[in-house]
Amino acid sequence: MANYTAADIKELRERTGAGMLDVKKALDEAEGDQAKATEVLRIKGLKGVTKREGRTASNGLVVARAETGVGTLVEVLCETDFVAKSEPFGALAEQVLAAAVEAKASTADELLAAPVDGKSVKELLDDANATIGEKIEVKRVARVEAPTVSAYLHKTSPDLPAQIGVLLGAEGGDDQVARDVAMHIAAFSPSVLTRDDIDAETVANERRIAEETAKEEGKPEAALPKIVEGRVNGFFKENVLLDQPFAKDSKKSVGTVLEEAGASATQFARFRVGS
């Protein structure tokens, strides 16, 4: 007869993020002792770390911290949404974020090598991988430095942790306009800050496609320059932050909103889990 209850199973699952079957087996082996069962999960899990390396981690969360003059954004991935929304995984992500801030990491490799509680972040993730029983990895890290840095995290589902994270670096203005623009970035996913950040070859190719499309549509030759210019400007509005119609007032561009607030954007980063 089992010497543990359904409540024991639930508690261990919530504490470790491990699967139902693995938790039951661990409790059986540990004769219901929670501490011993946690150790069993870790030991058995370490054996499977190498096997999990080839598996896909497409769930997870983003965490961010913005302090005076600097912001850090980290994407931590796992395999299932069950683990993504578990308390142990959220606590692990916060540990990883703290290590990134302390090490001033701006890449995943720098973060994995950073120290945390007497070990490296990579070793911390390997231990969590073993206990939880899923592949866990740091996919991306961003560090933004500016006079003002705003961080914004967005939940795409109320049942999940934040799936979209944004850092915006700005000069001038106030915290509200910076936050508003960070929220805009989360919603409209620009790829670059200014038109100058798009290479000339890409712009030339967009111009060529616009012209060929207009000709294929039978547009008058005399109207082609204006049509092409309009479509290229549409490309810029889709990709360039400062050119995009502002989320809160589409009659103004983001650049105009910042200018009216006496602010300028210097840098941004946007992560969406799994993309």
All structural domains of the chain with their residue ranges: 6-47, 59-192+263-272
Among positive and negative, which fits the CA dihedral 191, 197, 200, 203? positive
Residues 123-148 pLDDT 10s: 999 888 878 878 899 999 999 999 99
DSSP calls for 47-64: HTHHHHTTS---EEEEEE
Query: How long a stretch of residues is the chain?
Result: 275
- 240: how many CB neighbours lie within 10 A of its CB? 22
pLDDT score at 126 = 87
pLDDT number for residue 52: 47
Q: Cβ(116)–Cβ(124) under 8 Å?
A: yes
Mean pLDDT calculated for residue range 60-86: 95
Residue 17's pLDDT is what? 63
Is the whole-model pTM more than 0.95? no
Please tell me the predicted confidence (pLDDT) of residue 49. 43
Model confidence band, residue 1 (pLDDT cutoffs 50, 70, 90)? very low
| % of the chain exceeding 70 in pLDDT | 92
Give CA angle at 116 (136, 84), nearest 5°.
25
Q: What is the DSSP letter of 25?
A: H
**Long-range contacts, stretch 240-244, CB < 8 angstroms, 24+ apart:** 240/190, 240/191, 240/192, 240/193, 240/194, 240/195, 240/197, 240/198, 241/181, 241/185, 241/190, 241/192, 241/193, 241/194, 241/265, 241/268, 242/193, 242/194, 242/195, 243/195, 244/184, 244/188, 244/190
Rounded mean pLDDT, 205-234: 93
194 or 8: whose pLDDT is higher?
Answer: 194
Does the pLDDT value for residue 47 go beyond 50? no
| Residue 67 tokens, joined | 């302090």
Nearest to 136 by CA among 106, 107, 96: 96
44 band by pLDDT with thresholds 50, 70 and 90: low
Query: According to the model, what pLDDT value does residue 23 have?
Result: 80
Which pLDDT does position 50 carry in this prediction?
Answer: 46
Q: Which residues pair with 68 in a beta bridge?
A: none
> Quick one: pLDDT band at residue 190, thresholds 50, 70, 90?
very high
Share of the chain above pLDDT 90, in %: 73
Architecture, CATH, for domain 6-47: Orthogonal Bundle (1.10)
Helix (H) or strand (E) holding 228: helix 224-239
Report the top-level CATH class of 59-192+263-272.
Answer: alpha beta
Q: What is the mean pLDDT of residues 223-230?
A: 94
CA distance 218 to 187: 35
